Amino acid sequence: MDSSAINLPSPGRRRGRYSDSFKADIVAACKAPGVSTAAVALANSLNANLVRRWVAGSDPAHKAAVQLARVQSAASVSVSPTVAAPASTPGFVPVPLATPSADIRIELRRGDHLITLYWPVAAAAQCLSTLQDWLR
């Protein structure tokens, strides 16, 4: 086995230290729509798990949940060392969903031309057969 082809870490290697502004820039890049956290980490020579921790830590709701869990775990230990208090779970939070469109929307682009088709969802089978005929 040739050990010259393997890159080993140097013996005095230490953890990287990053400024708060650098972390904020990385987190902002990760929160952009359509951007992968792993891709941002890879592009900046960072570990993806480290970047995910930064993103999770930047969320105020996440920070509050972590602090609440720490307080609850400390309280359960101080109450009785033999019986631990059950951790409370957060309740259900309803999230309003966007209402789906009543039409099927298909965009076809060829060169500079754009054709947009709107088809009622109730006639989806007819839309499918029309598109299949047209694509043959």
**Which residue is listed with tokens 């009785």?**
80
Q: Render pLDDT for 54-89 as a digit per residue (tens, 0 to 9).
A: 988 888 776 777 677 777 776 665 545 555 555 666
CA–CA distances in Å: residue 100 to residues 74, 79, 104, 121, 131: 46, 50, 10, 10, 22
Crossing angle for the helix pair 60-79 and 48-58, to the nearest 10 degrees: 90
User: 116 near 101, Cβ under 8 Å?
Assistant: no
Q: Is the pTM of this model over 0.75?
A: no
Dist. CA 21–CA 39, nearest whole Å:
19
pLDDT confidence tier of residue 102, bands split at 50, 70 and 90: confident
Confidence of residue 117 (pLDDT cuts 50, 70, 90): confident
SS3 10: coil
63 touches 55 (CB < 8 A): no
